[in-house]
Amino acid sequence: MAENTSSPVNVAIDLGDRSYDILIGTGLMGHAQTYAGLPKAQAAVIVTNETVAPLYEAALRQGLQPHYAQIHTVVLPDGESHKDWPTLNLIFDALLAHGCDRKTVLFALGGGVVGDMTGFAAASYMRGVPFVQVPTTLLAQVDSSVGGKTAINHPLGKNMIGAFYQPQRVICDLDTLGTLPMRELSAGLAEVIKYGPIADMAFLDWIEANIDALMQRDVQALAHAVKRSCEIKAWVVGQDERESGLRAILNFGHTFGHAIEAGLGFGTWLHGEAVGCGMVMAAELSWRLKKVDVAFVDRLRTLIERAGLPVRGPHLHPSDNAGDYMAHMRLDKKAEAGDMKFVVIDEPGRAGVCGAPDDVVRAVIDACCV
């Protein structure tokens, strides 16, 4: 992807005294100007992983150099299966070993796993230190780095231990998407596609028209996809930071998706793959609840497939597959008193949360699994 240092696009996220900017552009990471105006501190700590460190740690360090007297780096093991307590503790070990004080700024350099763990570490180290998201996957640029959800997994459930804690800034350097494996690019496209049916059908039209350009990493197409996704997420989070209502729509496809991730074991399917397939299942549920027509389900399935994502769910259990899905979904954070809750499409471009009869949910799972 071409290097270019033209001014980044700026999407503001409006949360009163927790407001911040999302910078989107190319050639951002290594430039000192990108980090101007962040909280002053003696030390910055880059938290990254063993895959991303050799690719981008030096560029980030170069950009931070004029701003911080000390820059430390913590390199975590890579993967969703490491989004856990022992790995989180490696961050605290490093912060304490380096004598980091409560002004220290953490920089999350990586995908959603690094971002979620660094955010949680920042929320809890000395009861809270500032942090900056430097997302390097498409999924992280369009979703996980924005909005302040931070978490680690528990063996019994996805993202079960965490905190709402907003970053000081989000820096989406599109150049980083050039090294992303194709499977990860597709996973990110799942979260891009998500914003269409829940909030903006014109954006869904645009994605359909540009899916090939996105798959080929056309930088202008990616820039628009990241910008529009961040605008929609900023609009939702600005109204409902802590998910007391509206924000739940961002979990379209996630109830089924989290069951796939937990049921298969974290890391077997990528989060975005599980969400892509989960959106097909949630659309099917919306149809069976008579909210959308079957053409809408087919349209979404076709686009998800064109994005290189699975559209048929895996079997989680040889004899009671639907029962296994449902057991996982009763543990979902949206569940109330053990009753499953789903994000459904009330009409194209508008989503809501509702329960569903067990037999309907079973029918969806039976229809959508291989």
As annotated, the active-site residues are 127, 149, 191, 233, 243, 247, 251, 254, 258, 271
Per-position x/- string for 30-69, each x denoting binding to ligand NAD as judged by CB under 6 A, each - no binding: -------------------x-xx--x--------------
Q: Which is nearer to ligand GLY, 60 or 192 (CB)?
A: 192
* Span from 61-69, 173-181, 210-218, 349-357 in contact with ligand NAD (CB under 6 A): 173-181
Binding pattern for the stretch 89-118 against ligand NAD, x by CB under 6 A and - elsewhere: ---------------------xxxxx-x--
The Cα–Cα gap between 149 and 171 comes to 17
| Bridging pattern class, strands 157-164 and 131-135 | unpaired
Q: Say whether residue 137 binds ligand NAD (CB under 6 A).
A: yes
Please say whether the dihedral angle defined by the alpha carbons of residues 291, 296, 301 and 307, taken in this order, is positive or negative: negative
**One-letter-per-residue 3-state SS of 347-359:** ECCEEEEECCCHH
251 makes contact, choosing from ligand GLY, ligand NAD, none, with CB < 5 to 8 Å by partner type, with ligand GLY
Surface-to-core class of residue 37, CB atoms within 10 Å of its CB (0-12 exposed, 13-18 middle, 19+ buried):
exposed
Binding test (CB under 6 A) with ligand NAD, winner from 143, 231, 273, 284: 143
Angstrom distance (rounded) from CA 29 to CA 34: 7
Q: Rounded distance, CA 205 to CA 248, Å? A: 23
Site size with ligand NAD, rule: CB under 6 A? 29
What residue ranges bind ligand GLY (CB under 6 A)? 143, 147, 149, 247, 250-251
Q: Which one of ligand GLY, ligand NAD, none interacts with residue 194, CB within 5 to 8 A by kind?
A: none
Picking from 292, 307, 363, the residue whose alpha carbon sits closest to that of residue 185 is 307
The span from the CA of 140 to the CA of 129, in Å, is 21
State how far the Cα of 101 lies from the Cα of 116, in Å rounded to an integer: 21
Binding site for ligand NAD (CB under 6 A): 49, 51-52, 55, 78, 80, 83, 110-114, 116, 136-137, 139-140, 143-144, 147, 149, 159, 176, 179-180, 184, 187, 271-272
